[in-house]
Structure 1
Amino acid sequence: MKMKDRIGFLVALIIIAGISLSSVFIYFAYTRVISDNSESIAELSATNIYSEINSELTKPIYVSLTMANDSFVKNWLSTEESASSQDIIDYLLGIHDKYDYSSVFLISNNSLDYYRYSGLHKTISPTDEHDVWYYTFINSESSYDLDVDLDEANSTLTIFVNAKIYDDDDNILGVVGVGVEMNYIQEMISSFEINYDLEAFLINPEGLIQSHSNTEYIESRNIFDESMYQAHESEILDSFDSMRITSDHTSSIISRYVDELDWYIVVVKDSNVLLGFFRDYFASSFIALSFVVIIVSSMINKLVESHKKRVYELALTDHLTLLKNRRGFDLEFHHLSENNNSESIVFMADIDNFKAINDQYGHSYGDDILIHISSLIKTNLKNQDVLSRWGGDEFAGIIFGDINSSIATLEAIQKGINETELLKEKGVSISIGFTIYNKGDSIDKVIQKIDKAMYQSKERGGNQISQD
């Protein structure tokens, strides 16, 4: 079994085992409770509302953390002064269009510019009360947090998922995040009220309702002003896991703390619900979760395969010129020795006096020379030919085909470099050494030959082509 298949199978097995164990426990626990009294439905509803809220927040948390680790975002912030603001706006717009969040934003810790998917929103300031959250979050130990506040752009109560962006030295580059409108939670609570014939709402630690199917209660009704809840205030606020309080023979109150929001779910149930409803709901949920397992396993397989391929490519690539590196050349030579029966030559090219160029014009200019020369060489090669950066200012390659034609290619490369004004005015040239590949030659033997030939070109004054 392939690695990606084993990982996918293992993840699927863990998810299925977790779901099965949880489902069995929930089924027997809730079957007994539902059969006994009306408290069961309220407790089930509180659990499901809690799960729904967590589920709804899991995705934006994942999206925010993914954005915070996106190399494009980090690179843009690192070069913000010269980068185009439209690029980051387009990026945020893309996230908005993909996930349909009410808010997608980025704040630069350098410029303090606050970008939304619709454009530059403003420059934040520690004196602006709407921006206090940013400085509090930046100075906290958390890499991400959730904040419930009015969206300044549209005055809508929104759950914001904020994530810090770090550079390679763990310095904070900024904050990125998304916002989910509270309307979704209100609609979800309303659906539970209709389906289970109960009342459900969210309160803050002071007892003020923050979300309710009746919008008139939001920010205006305090349940601790009402006698039924006032008597159980301490018990409701101590319910960090799950709390069941029976008010009388037919009513019950269930409270559960939502850590991400610093709010409490309160569910009030006044009558019993048929056990069959839970069984139907349980079965449909299990089927849905089974589909999720299949989809997640498939996605993991694809991600593992894609990541494996990308890592493999990076391991064989020179990061400056994007040519194959020495390891990549070794692999291509192995293919040559194993599979190729046609004529071919192996060559090595070295930039003449490159150290002097670096010393005179700087390493950045030297890098530009390396990139430019690698591009010129590659332009003269065929698709099936091989070019790699051997190391420093040296390039190694393989040219397939007629020997005379291959030598002519090397001459064309040298001529192209000699006639390029940018290189010519700086006195840039290359020395080339090559050898004709013979079936069975080891890579060490071939490298020794082309290295020797290349140094012969150097000894002849450079800007020469020599054969060993």
Structure 2
Amino acid sequence: MRGRYHKQIIFISLIISIGFSISAVVTYSREKSEAEKRVLEESLPLIGDSIYTEIQSNIMNPVDIATFMAHDSFVRDWIIDKNSNPVTIRKYLRGIKEKYNATTAFLVDDAEKKYYTDSGSQLVLHKNTARDAWYWRVLADPAVYELNLGKYQENDSLLVFANEKIFDDQGQIIGIVGISLELHRFKKIIDKYAEKYNNAIYIFDQSGNIIIRSSVSAFPPHFDFKSMNTAIHQDESVPHNFLLQSTATERIVGIRKLPGSSWYLAVEEDVSETLANEKKSMIETLLVSIISSIIVILSTTGLVYNTQRKLFAAATTDPLTGLLNRNAFHERIRRQRKRHGEQAFLLAMIDIDHFKAINDSHGHQLGDEVIRDCARALREAASDGDILARWGGEEFLLFSPQPDGCDQDSCRQWLDDIRANIAARRIHCHGVEMCVTVSIGYTLAKNSANWEQVLEVADQALYAAKQAGRNRVMAA
């Protein structure tokens, strides 16, 4: 019974643990999805909008300046008037540079292919040179203006160029005007927001090359913006979000196109820590739930086990002596004989002599004490493997396996010792002291024998012992 009880505890605990584990995993998956959803729908759009707005204004600032220059009648008239003094355009470009704190301000006369700068430089552009390829690229582009990234020849620093076409009254291109700003202006904006929101921020071009990156963090080497181009180019008017997973981290990247340029803004948020906290919370909740459940299970099953044990004892034992009752004895014997079919055994039937007279003379309390004392004496004499039962009012049965075979003399001597021990005992109850004797009838048989016949033979032997004068042992 105890083994079955332990198995039940293990089984129930396992089922509940599995249930809590599944529940915790489902909860974690839901929380993980919610965390990713919050980043995708709330956090990233908010940060992206803030950065996007400020960068857009800064990017459009040089474009606005270039547009102003391209539509300035002074610039148009100067190009159209072929006899204009270069000094005047140099002063104009220098004024633009100083006013807007630009790195350079420049103009190209398309007819002469001359390049004028605020410093007074005058260069002739050549179509087949790498240095001047930008000009013919802008001319071929149907867009009115272009934002481009290039290097400043004086110190090799990166610049953002805003180039805009100049048209005459007939709509023909007569030149290109523009300014350049140092790239670090944009990096300062990116670093400010990256530090504020603890995000990594990037600007990359159509080819997937990173132009500017924040100082907070960088994409791992395996990351490639080019892999996202297809999805981004399908609709450049809306932001695009991507989930990036690696062995150690999980991040979400929001990407949107910067207006009036071929550049894209990327905002990366690392959700690994958030998910790690969710996972830790899940594990803690799971452990607490399992431990609490096991405690409840142990407490509950302990009570159930004790109740079952009491019910089992009430159903299988004699309440007065604690020995097996008749039904339980039959069940034990059945299992014993089934396991050891050819093994020999001794079956003894013991009856208290003159028990009715004891009850009539001294009352049932003394009678009960006599029965209890005889049961104690039998239990003391029994060996491991022997089976004792209270068979009736004052009758007991003793089943004793004999694995080494039946020795009639030794069995008789053992039973006679039991009889003598009971006769020598003194029983005290409510001031009354007395001794009792027992009669014993026994038989030797094998487990394969007919049980009812064995019982009948033992009963006949007991009857013979009583007829012979009681207080004796008789064999069938």
TM-score (norm 2): 0.44
TM-score between the two structures when normalised by the length of structure 1: 0.45
